[in-house]
Amino acid sequence: MQFVEYKNSNRIGYITLNRPKKRNALNYQVVAELKEAFNLANNDSDTKVIILTAEGDAFCAGADLAYLEELQQNSFDETLADSNHLKELFLQIYTLSKVVIAAIQGHAIAGGSGLASVCDYAFSVPQAKFGYTEVRIGFIPAIVMVFLIRKIGEQKAKDVLLSGRLITAQEAAEIGVITKVIEADLQKEVEAFAQELIAKNSAQSMAQTKQMIANVQNLSLEEGLHLAAEQNAKARATDDCKKGISAFLKKETIKW
């Protein structure tokens, strides 16, 4: 891959955006490489938790505007295929069976904020700025909107999506766009958090919980509770649940 790197270390899969001269802007190739990297990480038995990082001053500046300008010459069907390409990446991250943590070392604008929004956790340096700025260039934040309303609610989503304003990392944390602002060493803190998930939690349980979170919001109360009871029963029969309960009752340390 040219613009995305994947490596594994200590059960963490690192996916790194590496297009710093273009502020890690997204075009068809970058999105394709991200999809490939997440697929590699999801199928890597040595990877339990994934960290999404970036090289350079910016985490991601969103869509490559020169690329978008080129697309304006294309047919609607060709442009729709490109939109679906990005949609598939966001959905892939959101529904991936492994936990994805974004380590945001610089500004995350438009599609960059979109990437942060679909990760399970997002930790940022204090100086990073966030913003869904599409309306300021005559565009719309169409794909990320679906995920953002789920994440922070309609009123807060309206504020940032309709205004297109830039917000600080602190405000992004306060309204729920990101998880936390890290004042100290970002990489060290994120890795420590990832290792805590790795050491203390069942991968199978995290995958099932993440899948339920994605699915249950579409259901009525009754349907949601039916799914919950069904998944609860299925979870009791898993090897991880049997192992966990047995270790707890025996006062043994569980090794995940």
The β-bridge partners of 63 are 26
Q: What is the pLDDT of residue 78?
A: 87
Q: How far apart are the C-alpha atoms of 77 and 142, rounded to whole Å?
A: 17
Q: What is the pLDDT of residue 6?
A: 98
The torsion region of residue 181 among left (phi > 0), alpha (psi -120 to 50) and beta comes to beta
Cα Rg for the chain, rounded, in angstroms? 19
- Asked whether 124 and 178 are in contact (CB, 8 A), the reply is yes
Q: Which helix (H) or strand (E) holds 223?
A: helix 221-236
- Asked whether 17 and 60 are in contact (CB, 8 A), the reply is yes
Distances (CA, A) of 159 to 152, 154, 165: 11, 9, 9
Q: What is the pLDDT of residue 66?
A: 81
Which of the residues are catalytic? 134
Residue whose entry in the numeric block shows the structure tokens 């047919």: 75
- Asked whether 109 and 88 are in contact (CB, 8 A), the reply is no
Q: Please name which of 162, 62, 63, 145 lies closest in space to residue 108, comparing C-alpha atoms.
A: 62
> Across the 256 residues of the chain, what is the mean pLDDT of every consecutive 10-residue run?
97 98 95 98 97 97 83 86 95 97 98 96 98 94 96 98 98 98 96 97 96 94 96 93 92 90
Residues 222-246: pLDDT tens digits?
999 999 999 999 999 999 999 999 9
Residue type at 34?
Answer: L
Q: Where are the domains of the chain?
A: 4-197, 202-249
Given this structure, which CATH class describes domain 4-197?
Answer: alpha beta
Buried b (16+ CB within 10 A) or exposed e, 212-236: beeeeeeeeeeeeeeeeeebeeebe
Q: What is the pLDDT of residue 31?
A: 97
Q: What is the pLDDT of residue 74?
A: 83
Phi, psi of 100, rounded to the nearest 5 degrees:
-115, 125
Q: Please name which of 206, 116, 216, 130 lies closest in space to residue 169, comparing C-alpha atoms.
A: 130
In a 3-state reduction of DSSP, which class is residue 109? strand
Residue whose entry in the numeric block shows the structure tokens 């979109």: 114
Residues 2-37: pLDDT tens digits?
999 999 999 999 999 999 999 999 999 999 999 999
**pTM of the predicted model, to two decimals?**
0.94
Q: What is the pLDDT of residue 34?
A: 98
Q: What is the pLDDT of residue 179?
A: 98
Q: How far apart are the C-alpha atoms of 116 and 123, rounded to whole Å?
A: 9
Q: What is the pLDDT of residue 65?
A: 80
Q: What is the pLDDT of residue 222?
A: 96
